[in-house]
Structure 1
């Protein structure tokens, strides 16, 4: 099977927001609609997409009720779906940078191990090993333009926040929530992204790392390519919301 990350272009809806907090939130969830050539700035239609969204949510998320949908939204907005372990490892590096201005791999490994032992983490070796996994992904990100040369990822919570936007899109389309509730999730996700990131490239790299850490297992297959393509398009296409919506 040939795996391809080609996407046609950034699609927007004239009826959807293009500026303001709601548009910013939608833009934080743009990877997925861009990948499937759907409008980035609108919720799914609860008339047209009702059955399809319900089937997709049941199959991919185990969501079959409004309560189950809300639970998934809460998990995503708390960063609990992607998990806190990788972000904790990244936070160790952030602390090194704040304290010393620089970091190196051996020091990061040691600091991560010390932190894990101090926190009585169940699998210290796995947490330390994630340092190397992150570093290898960052090297590939740098080679493919997701990160600048010598760039690093600041947080992976953006992956859950971006998916929360799409959970709102599908939840409204599947009639698990009303429009006001869905849009409040989108806006909240955008607010959280601003708390954890400083720019669209910073956010997108965090989203990409969260996705591949969660699903790719260093195969650099579909889960990687399906985020690389949208990233590149959102960063370069002048019709992208990332070109006209300020991140901060």
Structure 2
């Protein structure tokens, strides 16, 4: 993972709505050592861009690209159970006037009377959220009284990456790509109140999503490192672009 792949002036937009939208994909740019704000003829090269759309996205043509992008924009890929479990806690917090305890949260999930399989999935999602929020607090990234209410950032950030790949793979034109990035930026602005909140949502989602495949803890450590780079490096777009 490269640290600080920040562009030189003139490489792409540094301010304004398009730069804001592109910066939503900066976690993946940092992870892959790529400049975050380029929206040009290629991302990593035509053949590579097509290969990266094919695996893991299964995108081979324009129709598949548009279908995948719409799924990401409507946050259908981040995990329905994960999102619904966090929504239960958020709703309960509004009613209580405070963040519920874990037992209160668990009880609220039980009161929905889901099927046994769904109940087990929900409790596992709760466990993962509690585990990784706890690690984020212990590492100083999440405040003691803070919580993550939505994981939509994970889909929005990946959506920017898919748009950049699709442009490089000639599955959309520059105008379509810009409009898609602007739409992603608008949606993220509705879901989060700051770059830090967006970044925490992305980091928590990534850690939860890859938990079963990452017994070594590498994914969490990578996510934390990316969050710190993006929120602390003075040259990061998150430090230089207004959230709203």
TM-score (norm 2): 0.91
Do structure 1's residue 104 and structure 2's residue 101 form an aligned pair?
yes
1:66-215 alignment runs, 5 A limit: 66-102=62-98, 103-115=100-112, 117=113, 123-215=118-210
Residues in 2 aligned to 1:98 and 1:48: alpha-carbon distance in whole angstroms: 45
3-state secondary structure, aligned to 1:60: coil
Match of residue 216 from structure 1: 211
Is the 8 Å Cα contact of residues 86 and 150 (structure 2) preserved in structure 1?
A: yes
1: distance between equivalents of 2:117 and 2:44?
47
Verify: 1:42 aligned to 2:30, yes or no. no
After the TM superposition, list the runs of 4 or more consecutive aligned residues in structure 1 that deviate by more than 4 angstroms.
Answer: 119-122
SS at match of 1:153: coil
1:67–1:79 CA distance, 2 compared to 1 (3 A): same
Q: In structure 2, do the counterparts of structure 1 residues 123 and 92 end up closer, same or farther at CA, with 3 Å as the change threshold?
A: same
Task: Give the TM-score of the pair, scaled to structure 1.
Answer: 0.90
For 1:225, which of 221, 224, 229 is the aligned residue?
221
SS at match of 1:145: coil
Give 1:43 shift.
2.1
**Unaligned ranges ≥5, structure 2:** none
- Distance in structure 2 (CA, Å) of the matches to 1:241 and 1:65: 32
Shift of 1:75: 0.7
